[in-house]
Every structure is written in structure tokens, then in C-alpha cells.
Structure 1
Amino acid sequence: MEIDLNKALRKTIRSGKVLIGSNTCIDAIKKDKDSTVVLAANCPPHIRSQIQDSGVPIIEYPGMSIDLGTACGKPFTIATMAILDPGDSNIMAVFDSEEEEAPAGETPDKLEG
């Protein structure tokens, strides 16, 4: 199932609970591993590696931080955003669509032939 990530993010902000900002997100995932983190494409490497090392699920936002901010309806850039509660959104379906794209145990090399 293909989801509109921008629409899902807006709905998550309206109906769920999110934390915005790199330091805030890192502090939150240290305390609560149940959150999911959205990373902009230009998230600073040291922030990205700290979040990846924590083992929490990550949604890679394809746009830059200015695009993520706009998608969330904010007048500022967002490099990282922690989703504590998705609310009424279908944002977590992004993980289902990723599994459909690359079946378990198959790498992209194997899929290409």
C-alpha cells in the first residue's frame, strides 16, 4: 500500500504526539524505544548516526529539512521528528510498503537479477 507521506505527517501532527528537534528526539529515544523517528535527507551525519545506533524505527523523509518542515505545516526546518503516538494517521503503514518493495531475505541485488 502506497501512502502519501506528507499527508500522513500532517495528520500525525494534528492527531498524535510528536517531538521536533534533534536534541529533543535523541533524549526521547534514550528514554523510550517505542518511538519512531523521521529523518530529513539532509539530517546532519552525527545526529543520524546517534539515532540509527539507538535501534528505533526510522522513516527516511526523501526531502530536505525545509521540505519536512513545510510538510508538517511548520514555518521552520525540521531535520528530525520523533513520533510518540501516530494518532489517527496511517504513517506506520510506510513500514508495510517498505516490506512489500523488498521481500524479506532478498537484497536489491537479488531482485534485479
Structure 2
Amino acid sequence: MKSGKCAIGLRQTLRLLRRGGARLIIISNNAPPLRKTEIEYYAMLSKTGVHHYNGSNRDLGTACGKYFRVSTLAIEDPGMSYLVVSLSFSCRGLRYHQDSTT
């Protein structure tokens, strides 16, 4: 999370989804079910991909480099990361493979 822009938390994620600026939404596995369905609904309306993180909100916060729990994360600009490309391909059943020879 050194490059790019992201929104952490439910309110910022919903605000970014309503604006249509989110490229990918990441939800932890222990987020409240009502919040999950609300985020998935807004993501469906804005045609944004949703990835269900296979870890708790503590794990997602640690993965973001934060010292607090993060249940939802919206990526607005991936920066130098291939995360959005690889997760969007894996969500569709395709595999993203970066060739090491190029």
C-alpha cells in the first residue's frame, strides 16, 4: 500500500462506490452480513469487482500495514500494484501470469 489510493472503512468504501471511483472492493470474512450485502449491492450497481478476503479484519488490517482492524477496503487507484489485475482475473476463473522474461 505504498503507491496508489485506497479507502479504508465502510463509510469511505460506500462513498467511493456511489461516486463510481472504486476499481476493487476487498471484504474480510468476519464483516457483518448486512454490511457485506450492502457493499455487494452497491458494487453490482457500479460494476465493481468484490473480493472476499480469506482472513479476519485483524488480518486485513495487518496486510494493509495498519494497526487497527479493517473490514472493508476499496482500491481507487492500484498504483504500481498488479493486485487489481490478478484478483479480477482470478475472480473470473482465469489465471493472471506475469512472464518473467519480459
The normalised TM-score by structure 2 is 0.80
Note the alpha carbon deviations across 1:5-60, whole angstroms, 9 max, x for none. xxxxxxxx211100001111011101115431110001111111111112121111
* Alignment size in residue pairs: 89
2:16–2:22 contact (8 Å) kept in structure 1: no
Quick check: which has more Rg, 1 or 2? 1
Q: Structure 1 segments of 4 or more deviating over 2 A?
A: none
| 1:44–1:57 distance in 2 versus 1, CA, 3 Å | same
Match of 1:97 in 2: 90
Note the alpha carbon deviations across 1:49-95, whole angstroms, 9 max, x for none. 11111212111110000000001110000000110001111112122
In structure 1, the gaps of 5 or more residues are 1-12, 102-113
User: In angstroms, what is the RMSD of aligned CA positions?
Assistant: 1.4
Flag the structure with higher helix content.
1
Match of 1:81 in 2: 73
After TM superposition, the structure 1 stretch with the greater mean CA deviation from structure 2, 40-49 or 72-81, is 40-49
**Distance in 1 (alpha carbons) for counterparts of 2:22 and 2:65:** 25
**Distance in 1 (alpha carbons) for counterparts of 2:21 and 2:6:** 14
In structure 2, the gaps of 5 or more residues are 96-102
**Distance in 2 (alpha carbons) for counterparts of 1:19 and 1:67:** 17
Match of 1:46 in 2: 34
